[in-house]
Amino acid sequence: MNVLIAAIPGWNWLIEPLQYPFLVQAIWVSAFVGLVCAVLSCYITLKGWSLMGDAVSHSVVPGVVVAYALGIPFAVGAFLFGFGSVVAIGYIKSKTRLKEDAVIGVVFTGFFALGLVLVTKTPSNIDLFHILFGNVLGISQGDIIQTLIAGIITLAIILLRRKDLLLFCFDPNHAKAIGLNTQFMYYTLLSVLALTIVTALQTAGIILVIAMLVTPGAIAYLLTDRFDRMLWIAVANSVFSCVMGTYLSYHFDISTGGSIVVLLTLIFVLTMVFAPKYGILSQQARRRSSQLPEGGSQEQQLIRDRM
């Protein structure tokens, strides 16, 4: 029986990494992180907060360094500084005439630069490369526990407030008109964003987590107009990319976080071109058909063009 199974094409390619406990651990941790990121990605895509995710992800760097220096979990320091950057953005935006994109640029670069200064001046064993690009293959049990706790809290908050968050992302003016506290929802969504970045910190790192927060939702947004389907499509693509990306990193000896994001990006490109309704090819086909004379078929139009 084992001989027959081993004869299946590609079976050894799939089963070989599962012989190593650290790879099995990396696969399921990556899949969990992909699930969390994909769920929030749908809300971020609807809200148009891709740049906000970039800001928060960079702002957690000094929190990681301070947490190491104080001997507390990385997740605590990362969340505090990530949420602190959100508060700073909201405060500066409300007190100045600057637009949100300018405020975001000032705040996240300032926080990130502070992190770089602390890394160089604080005696530690922190590897900046792992902070920026992740190291899921070398993740410790303590980091796994932090990742699970942050991810479960994130999913629980989204599940409990999913309808309010959806309305806030889709139409904040209507949400405010019916009595929803939009200011509270603003900070709720940003808190969840900070938690999600903490969740993905060890897997994808600060730089690549932006792609994991944006790309799954973007893929799903091109494939459906229904939000419930959008969630399932985003989760499926994200989890598949995380699992397959980990396999590819093992077989080709490449960065795990990088391979995950590259795979997600390839899926996005294919979706952008071939999506049934919003893909480039389908839109071109609709434009061509709309240019045909009323009552004439495409074949008839081609005959006229040749005459």
**For residues 229 and 217, what is the distance between their CA atoms, to the nearest angstrom?**
11
Q: What is the pTM of this model?
A: 0.82
Q: What is the pLDDT of residue 3?
A: 47
The structure tokens listed for 94 are 């409300």
What is the rounded average pLDDT of the residues 34-60?
Answer: 84
Q: Any idea where the domains of the chain sit in the sequence?
A: 21-290
- Separation of CA 234 from chain center: 10
Cβ neighbour number for residue 190 with a 10 Å cutoff: 22
Q: Which fold has domain 21-290?
A: ABC transporter involved in vitamin B12 uptake, BtuC (1.10.3470)
Cβ neighbour number for residue 242 with a 10 Å cutoff: 33
What is the rounded average pLDDT of the residues 65-86?
Answer: 81
Q: pLDDT tens digits for 188-224? A: 888 888 888 877 876 677 777 888 888 999 999 999 9
